[in-house]
Structure 1
Amino acid sequence: MANRSRLIEGCNMRWWFRCRLWVWWGGIVVAVVVLLALVCTALTHTYTNYLLRSLEGPLPADDPELLTYIREELLQPPSSEPYDLLEKRNVAQILVEESEVFYNKSLRTLFKDKSDGFFVEAGALDGETMSNTLWLERELGWTGLLVEADRTAYLSLITKHRRAWAANVCLAPTPYPSKEMFYIYPHYPGPLALSLGFKMRSMHGLTKYNEKATSSSWFTKVQCIPLESILLSLGVTRVDLLVLDVEGAELAILGHFDLQKFNVLCIEWKKKHEIDSVVQQFKKRGYVEAARLDEDIILVQHGSQYEGRLNTSTHS
């Protein structure tokens, strides 16, 4: 009887351990199944949302997820550190362009009594060379948005510690984000290389809008974001000055949203025979020509405080 009892007790113990083992493995299997189900559900949910939104067409400029992405991933906030500028050491200032003098004089006349304004400068280069907005920050306390698609120029820009938001993107020629081909002229050493400095990079731009891009140019794809989307992500509803130096893409960039939030526009248009036609297009959208020097145009919103302050058109 004692042997039989011990045998039964041993069997019960083995059965108990087997049950615990089955329960343990069963728990692991259930946990894995639940985890896989959650992952699959999450992936399916994200995919479904993306699919449904894609069926409706390209992302709208005010898409909430797009605006969050711009704020969190693309925008560099204004710096509070001391400026780190080349100033007199900037070799690009050895040769001062006539257009630089024109813009500086004209904008100082327009904004001489305007403090704490907001600007947008697209084609900002290194944030110092040929900048039309740096003096507004330093002398009148402005802030704004600096846009530069050229990665080399942008990396230099953010070292200047500008008091403005910065983005290493191009402004989209469409009302939705896109990837566009960007051309970069090869910079061969030459007699002007030293004196031009970052000015040599000012001729880069979107390939489809510039006939001068050649087989010797370098090409890369860049992320383009609608200006409207960037301003929405910043909560900006009024822009005192918009400077566009984007090598031919100006009309495409400005053609798909309301311009009434911009007081003053500075635009460079390389095809001089088209400038009068371009000015007429902006007149139809509520702007008047305030000044012109060759291919550089300044337009102000009709009825704004800036209308009539300038009368310095020089056609050639």
Structure 2
Amino acid sequence: MSSQFGQDRLVLQLLNGQRNGFFLDTGAADGIRSSNTVLLEREFGWRGLCVEPNDAFYQKLIHTRRCMCLHACLYDRETELPFLEAAGTLGGLINEFGPGQMANAIRTQRLPLDTEGMPPLVSKRTMTLATALALAAAPPVIDYWSLDTEGTELLLLKSFPFDRHTFNVITVEHNHQPTRHDIRNFLEARGFLHVTAWFIDDCYVRAAAFPGRHASSVVWRSRFSR
């Protein structure tokens, strides 16, 4: 029971083993395999919100996690959009896929194609982060946000309701897509510091949440670099 690349352990290290925190897990999958938040919930008493758009994953999620779980496809507005569900953890809103993302999902999952070369798609009704957080009665400060939504990460950051909430630690999957640099610029402009990068994730902290540990110093950040 651990995260994909040790994100949960990193979060605990950054937060000094904090108990009874609150997490936001967007792209929670089945809630167990490679989950960044299940350890926090089960061993450290955290509560939180798991959001998952995939039908099959969601049915598993509600049986494996105690926290609030939403069957929702997050976006910056409410609308109907085509979603690649058959690709499992590689699925997402195809209009937000980065370069090569669709081809990689088709190849990796060996998806069948129609006469126009498209894999099977479903239509998803989207939900905003503001609505999801309101439904979960999320606190003003979210201790940790795990953001892994296969292409909509920057869009969701830009639509985050900063007027009502903030977060102290965030890990963002980037998959080496061009938006990685835009994500960093966006977060740093809002007072976040890039702490470490590993594999396909970046980790940031809100500088104001770590005043006693000199979060702005290169020495402090180097402790977590890989």
TM-score tier after normalising by the smaller chain length: 0.7 to 0.9
1:244-259 to 2 correspondences below 5 Å: 244-259=147-162
Deviations 1:266-308 (A, max 9, x none): 1011235553342122100121111111431111112213773
The SS at the match of 1:184 is coil
Instruction: Provide the C-alpha distance between the structure 1 equivalents of 2:125 and 2:92, rounded to a whole number of angstroms.
Output: 12
1:157-168 to 2 correspondences below 5 Å: 157-160=61-64, 162-168=65-71
Question: Would you say the 8 A contact 2:52–2:72 is kept in 1?
Answer: yes
Superposition deviation, residue 310 in structure 1: 4.8
Match 2:135 to one of 218, 226, 233: 233
1:203 corresponding residue in structure 2: 90
Match 1:120 to one of 15, 20, 24: 24
Based on CA coordinates, which of the two structures has the bigger radius of gyration? 1
1:80-99 to 2 correspondences below 5 Å: none
Name segments (4+ residues, structure 1) moved above 4 Å. none
For structure 1, the 5+ residue unaligned runs are 1-86, 88-92, 94-98, 187-200
Instruction: Provide the C-alpha distance between the structure 2 equivalents of 1:184 and 1:146, rounded to a whole number of angstroms.
Output: 18
Question: Would you say the 8 A contact 1:269–1:296 is kept in 2?
Answer: yes
1:145 and 2:79 are equivalent in the alignment = no
Percent identical pairs in the alignment equals 26
Read off the aligned partner of 1:263 and give its amino acid letter: N
Match 1:219 to one of 113, 121, 133: 121
Question: Would you say the 8 A contact 2:143–2:167 is kept in 1?
Answer: yes
Instruction: Provide the C-alpha distance between the structure 1 equivalents of 2:63 and 2:183, rounded to a whole number of angstroms.
Output: 36
2:107 corresponding residue in structure 1: none
Instruction: Provide the C-alpha distance between the structure 1 equivalents of 2:25 and 2:214, rounded to a whole number of angstroms.
Output: 21
Question: Would you say the 8 A contact 1:144–1:163 is kept in 2?
Answer: no
The SS at the match of 2:183 is helix
Instruction: Provide the C-alpha distance between the structure 2 equivalents of 1:134 and 1:285, rounded to a whole number of angstroms.
Output: 28
Superposition deviation, residue 234 in structure 1: 2.9
Aligned length, in residue pairs = 201
1:41-56 to 2 correspondences below 5 Å: none
Match 1:170 to one of 68, 73, 79: 73
Deviations 1:15-69 (A, max 9, x none): xxxxxxxxxxxxxxxxxxxxxxxxxxxxxxxxxxxxxxxxxxxxxxxxxxxxxxx
Distance 1:226 1:307, change over 3 A: farther
Structure with the bigger percentage of helix: 1
1:242-281 to 2 correspondences below 5 Å: 242-259=145-162, 261-272=166-177, 274-281=179-186
Q: Which segment is superposed worse, 106-115 or 305-314? A: 305-314
1:64-103 to 2 correspondences below 5 Å: 100-103=4-7
Superposition deviation, residue 168 in structure 1: 0.8
2:108 corresponding residue in structure 1: none
Deviations 1:170-205 (A, max 9, x none): 111x2x32222111345xxxxxxxxxxxxxx21111
For structure 2, the 5+ residue unaligned runs are 104-116
Superposition deviation, residue 206 in structure 1: 0.7
1:111 and 2:12 are equivalent in the alignment = no
Structure with the bigger percentage of strand: 2
The SS at the match of 1:222 is strand
The SS at the match of 1:218 is coil
